[in-house]
Structure 1
Amino acid sequence: MSVMDKLKQMLKGHEDQAGQGVDKAGDLVDDRTQGKYSGQVDSAQERLRQQLGSEQTGQRETGREDPPR
């Protein structure tokens, strides 16, 4: 069993919370890099949400705008 399969089992029923965690982690990286890699971070967030089965793909719930590039 792969690590991703184990994560999916652990997160079953908590996909929305996992998606929120992915968003927060991406926001932290964007903040620390001053938005320099925001395109790559957004792509990674989207792929993680798809892998983890999050229902909120592409939605940001932080209420903040993306930092300028």
Structure 2
Amino acid sequence: MSFLDKAKELIDKHDDQVDKALEKVGEQIDERTGGKYTVHIDKAVNEAQRRTGAGDTRP
């Protein structure tokens, strides 16, 4: 199993935590940029969550 396969498996197992971390990172970036890029940051966070499963945890 490759590193990438292991990373995908880990993300699938901990999807809720990944989504929360993405939200937190987005909030930090938004804060550091003074809210100047809020729309872009929100769009990027949403896309990242979609690509990692957006809360659809699997057993």
Greater share of helix: 2
**Segments ≥4 residues shifted beyond 6 Å:** none
Instruction: Indicate how the Cα distance of structure 1 residues 54 and 5 shifts in structure 2: closer, same or farther if over 3 A, else same.
Output: farther
Aligned identity (percent) is 31
Per the normalisation by structure 1, the TM-score is 0.68
Per the normalisation by structure 2, the TM-score is 0.78
Instruction: Indicate how the Cα distance of structure 1 residues 53 and 4 shifts in structure 2: closer, same or farther if over 3 A, else same.
Output: farther
Structure 1 portions without partners, runs of 5+: 57-69
State whether structure 2 residue 30 is matched by structure 1 residue 30.
yes
Instruction: Indicate how the Cα distance of structure 1 residues 18 and 46 shifts in structure 2: closer, same or farther if over 3 A, else same.
Output: same
Instruction: Indicate how the Cα distance of structure 1 residues 9 and 49 shifts in structure 2: closer, same or farther if over 3 A, else same.
Output: same
Higher relative contact order (CA 8 A, sep 6+): 2
Which stretch has the larger CA shift, 6-15 or 34-43?
A: 6-15
Counterpart CA distance in 2 for 1:51 and 1:5 is 15
Instruction: Indicate how the Cα distance of structure 1 residues 37 and 5 shifts in structure 2: closer, same or farther if over 3 A, else same.
Output: farther
Q: CA RMSD for the aligned pairs? A: 2.3
Number of positions where the alignment pairs a residue of Structure 1 with one of Structure 2:
56
Structure 2 portions without partners, runs of 5+: none
